Amino acid sequence: MQLANTPYFTRPLFFFDQARFRRALAAGEKPALEIFKDAAGAADTQMEQRFREGEDVRTLVHERALFVDCLLHYAWHQYQWPTGVGLLAVGGYGRGELHPHSDIDLLILTGAQPDPQVVDNIERLVAFLWDLGLDIGHSVRSIEQCLEMARSDITVATNLMECRTVVGDDKLRGQLAEQMTPDRLWPADEFFEAKSAEQRERHSRQKGSEYNLEPNIKNAPGGLRDIQTIGWVAKRYFQVRTLKQLQGKGFFTEEEFGILQSGEDFLWRVRYGLHLLAGRAEERLLFDYQRELAKQFGYEDSDTQLAVEQFMHSYYRIVMALRELNDVLLQFLDEAILQRGQSESVTPINERFQLRDNTIEVTQTGVFVEDPSALLEIFVLMAENPKIEGVRASTIRLIREHRHLIDDHFRADPHNAELFIQLLRAPRGLSTQLTRMTRYGILGRYLPEFGRVTGQMQHDLFHIYTVDAHTLQVVRNMRSFRGPEAWEKYPIAAQIMARLRKPELLYIAGLYHDIAKGRGGDHSILGIRDADAFCRRHHLPARDRRLVCWLVEKHLLMSAVSQKQDISDPEVVHEFAREVGDREHLDYLYALTVADINATNPELWNSWRASLMRQLYQATQGALRRGLENPIDREEIIEETRAQASASLRTLGLPQQAVEDIWAQMGDDYFVRESADNITWHTAAIHQLMCASEKGEENDTLVLTRNSGRGEHDGATEVFVYTPDRANVFAAVVTGLDMLNLNIHDARLYSSASGYTLDTFYVLDESGQPLLEDPTRLEQIRSTLQEELALVEDYSKVIKRRTPRRLKMFELETRASLSTEPGDHYSTLEITSADRPGLLARIARIFIDHDLRLHNARISTLGERVEDIFHITDAEGEPLLDESANRELEEAICRELDAHQTTQRPQ
């Protein structure tokens, strides 16, 4: 069989016996479709086996394309075709590349309008190929139609550039190619601009990051499409069919070509394996497949990193190198294509650098050898000069070629330390330059500890970026606090940034807060040594050095206290204030914490977390103003809160005696932990219920809802429940809220002397926002909870809702820890477990089964896991002090929740 235009692969297909195949077709003993299916099935099985045995992926990809060529050849010749009709491969198949489930893009090219017989043949051929199970995409067009579409659509033009004839009249392809030369269609400059815009849009859809948690290996920055874009533009400009033809012509160096080739090999292996695992053309490296691919690639769990984390570390490093190379080569082509022939303005900056139009370049090629400090200086100059838009391609190459000069001697040079601090103090562009330094391999060499975490990921849903990408985002967030938009979105952080003594200390803490991730042990403690070494090497005063190291050590403190402890408790605030010590430490820690939360996972920062952080910050400010030697008195809080609520209730017309009667049933904790506004709201509603009861109305349960905009918890929807105190109340309420897809973030529960429970739940919707002021939705909450509470005497319902795909991919062994601090009136139960629908309701059932009373709950969801804290007592309201019984309870909780998790895992 003679195949036209198959330069991509010349090796014969040993696994496909064409003579035997032809004999089977000629014999007619079996239907042709069955013969084709047998051949395709055998080829798939044989190629999959070869892939798993480690055969070169390029051989497999090209052999698959050649095998499909053969099938199409024989399928085509089942019909009679006149001259003037050809079957062309386009797109990736046109390049001779086919992965297991790649689309087989076909163009049936005609010289003129096809006659009815040809149309009938085409219809039968396409139907046959679909019945055969090939994933074909096809079009039927004349040469003129192809040209018309190519003129208006860059994607069509790109596909046709790589077309080749599989079978049929090859003269048509030649005629088409003659009409598609750059002098007739899509000149090199227009083609470059269109493909550059296409890439920018594609990167934007991937959030501009090669570090997505489940990256798209084809379309994300540094992915296969970036390699193809380089090829398309270069081949259009240089008028060649393959990039290999450009070797030695100055477009790329041998090292760069090696990076392209090895990077493509790796991504092809990943893509090939991904298609086999998914059984379809899947381009997203989903959690479902990352672990399996890690095993296939030979990675094994170590003491400090899972196999999947090592695999993804390799993936991220490779795509980062490809993105870096994409930057260089497209910049080179931009200069060669778009700027060719233009008059250039050259402005000297200093003896080492000059500005050519709006891009910076070296004054001569030996600059970095003669003065290695220029490897840092160039980024300082860009940060200080807003006119500089980028770096010339030739200079980027020189940076890459000379970055090895950054060694211990370079790092110990005081001048270089001064340059780096100068960069941190730059008025603009710091995060942009740090990103450039990372992409060009400079930052990881100047800060080797940063280089070690480049591309390092954690296999969970909480940390959605690699450590280096997260770190740079932290600094970017810090810089954004200086912008005008921050005064609305992050008002406290904006105020802090405007008054910080040395903002660069905050940036240093941001660079080092996660620097020890992946080493084993507590990264907050391990990172202190690296931070201290940096500060000493950069000659920071002792006071600044201590502040930076303290921030690195304590960077998780404020988020932990605000989310896991009861910050309405003055003792909690006082203890936190003692840890902080003064307002400067509080300011720096607040700004670092907000930047860190937003850079860990943007979905984490919602109105609820913002309100908790604000409440803790303001309460700590008050504690520091009073002085740490003057902790606030509980009696003062109670007296002040009662006075404010009493005044508000008088304006509502409630009799003072009625108020006193209601309040007489409440304990002191209620007046310490609740705001005067909440107490007013509760008391008025309870009074109204009591009045209704006196009139003979039988309802003894009250359910109220409102969006809080009144004080400390103004970032959530409040659900207030007042009902007779029974064992199943908490279980019924959390089940009802779960049924409504509402997430509980805080629960405050009080028992009154009159036998009622007063429970306030702070909830957010699935997107992490308070509910809209929708009367229908709020009424739905009230009616659902009323229905659930009506069944509370015999309550056994446990929510059953589909577990999201991502959550199913993570197995997390439940941990439960029960403790009682001296003087506490309750015991604290901490539970860490895998997040699942209905988890909180299941925990409530456990409390019922063990005859426990719940007084308070702090609910924190961190990606695929929850870290919940419950304050509990026994049935008599006493803390749990029996150590043996407590250990049994911890084990029972773990068994029950892990059993629930097991039933939810994918089989």
Neighbours of 556 (CB within 10 A): 14
Using alpha carbons, list the distances in angstroms from residue 669 to 86, 568, 570, 702. Answer: 84, 10, 11, 21
Amino acid at 559: S
**Residue 134 dihedral angles phi and psi, to the nearest 5°:** -80, 140
Q: What is the 8-class DSSP label of residue 239? A: T
pLDDT of residue 876: 85
CA 289, CA 514: separation in Å to the nearest integer?
A: 27
> Greatest CA separation found in the chain?
104
Q: Show Cβ contacts of residue 184 under 8 Å, excluding neighbours closer than 6 positions.
A: none
Q: How far apart are CA 91 and CA 116, in angstroms?
A: 28
What was the pLDDT predicted at 2? 38
DSSP string, 718-774: EEEEEEE--TTHHHHHHHHHHHTT-EEEEEEEEE-TTSEEEEEEEEE-TTS-PPPS-
Question: What pLDDT score was predicted for residue 905?
Answer: 45
CA distances from 907 to 293, 681, 811, 814, 865 (A): 18, 49, 13, 20, 20
Question: CA–CA separation, 560 vs 551, rounded Å?
Answer: 14
Distance CA 116, CA 114 (A): 7
Q: Token digits for 748?
A: 């405050």
Asked if 745 and 716 touch (Cβ cutoff 8 Å), the reply is yes
Residue 870: count other Cβ atoms within 10 Å of its Cβ: 25
Dihedral sign, CA of 160, 163, 166, 167?
positive
Closest C-alpha to 147, from 161, 137, 164: 161
Other beta carbons within 10 Å of 102: 21
Taking the C-alpha atoms of residue 718 and residue 454, their distance in angstroms, rounded to an integer, is: 43
Q: Which residue has 């790092």 as its token pair? A: 411
Which tokens belong to 628?
Answer: 């740490």
Sole residue written with tokens 């059984």: 279
**What is the dihedral angle through the alpha carbons of 348, 350, 351, 353, rounded to the nearest 10 degrees?**
-70
Q: What backbone phi and psi angles, to 5 degrees, belong to 664?
A: -65, -20
| The three-state (H, E, C) secondary structure of 404-424, written as one string | HHCCHHHHHCHHHHHHHHHHH
Whole-number pLDDT of residue 3? 42
Q: DSSP secondary-structure letter at 54? A: T
H-state helical runs in 819-873 = 839-849
Do residues 328 and 397 make contact, with C-beta atoms less than 8 angstroms apart? yes
Residue 255, H or E segment: helix 254-278
How far is Cα 90 from Cα 149, in angstroms, rounded to an integer?
14
CA atoms within 13 Å, Cβ hemisphere of 623: 28
Is residue 788 within 8 Å of residue 732, measured between CB atoms?
yes
Left if phi > 0, otherwise alpha if psi is -120 to 50, otherwise beta: which for 857? beta
Query: Phi and psi at residue 363, in whole multiples of 5°?
Result: -80, -25
Backbone angles phi, psi at 760, to 5 degrees: -120, 125
Quote the strand ranges of 292-378, DSSP E.
346-348, 353-356, 359-362
Nearest residue to 519 via CA among 692, 308, 309, 304: 304
Q: How far apart are CA 450 and CA 427, in angstroms?
A: 23
How far is residue 594's CA from residue 605's CA, in Å, rounded to a whole number?
Answer: 8
Q: What Rg do the C-alpha atoms of the chain give, in angstroms? A: 34
**Mean pLDDT of each 10-residue bin along the chain, 907 residues long:** 46 84 92 96 96 95 96 96 95 95 96 90 96 94 95 94 94 94 92 94 83 86 95 90 82 90 96 96 90 93 87 92 92 84 81 93 97 98 93 94 97 98 95 95 96 81 78 96 93 96 97 92 94 97 98 96 87 94 97 94 81 94 90 86 94 93 91 91 92 78 78 73 87 87 86 88 84 81 89 64 47 85 85 80 85 83 76 88 91 84 48
CB 121 within 8 A of CB 79: yes
For residue 6, give the nearest of 136, 93, 125 by alpha carbon: 93
Residue 858's beta-bridge partner residues?
746, 869
Tell me what pLDDT residue 525 has: 95
pLDDT at 906: 43
> SS3 of 833, please?
strand
Q: What pTM was estimated for this model as a whole?
A: 0.84
Indicate the helix (H) or strand (E) that contains 382.
Answer: helix 374-384
In the three-class reduction of DSSP (H, G, I as helix; E, B as strand; rest coil), residue 324 is classed as helix
CA 263, chain centre distance (Å): 23
59 and 5 in contact (C-beta within 8 Å)? no
Half-sphere exposure of 17 (CA within 13 A, CB side): 9
Distance CA 517, CA 527 (A): 8
Give the Cα separation of 659 and 647 in Å (integer).
Answer: 11
Q: What CA–CA distance (Å, rounded) separates 866 from 832?
A: 6
Residue 309 burial (CB count, 10 A):
21
Q: Where are the beta strands (DSSP E) in 835-893?
A: 852-858, 861-862, 865-874
The whole-angstrom separation of Cα 8 and Cα 540 is: 59
355 touches 349 (CB < 8 A): yes
Q: How do strand 865-874 and strand 861-862 relate by DSSP bridges?
A: antiparallel
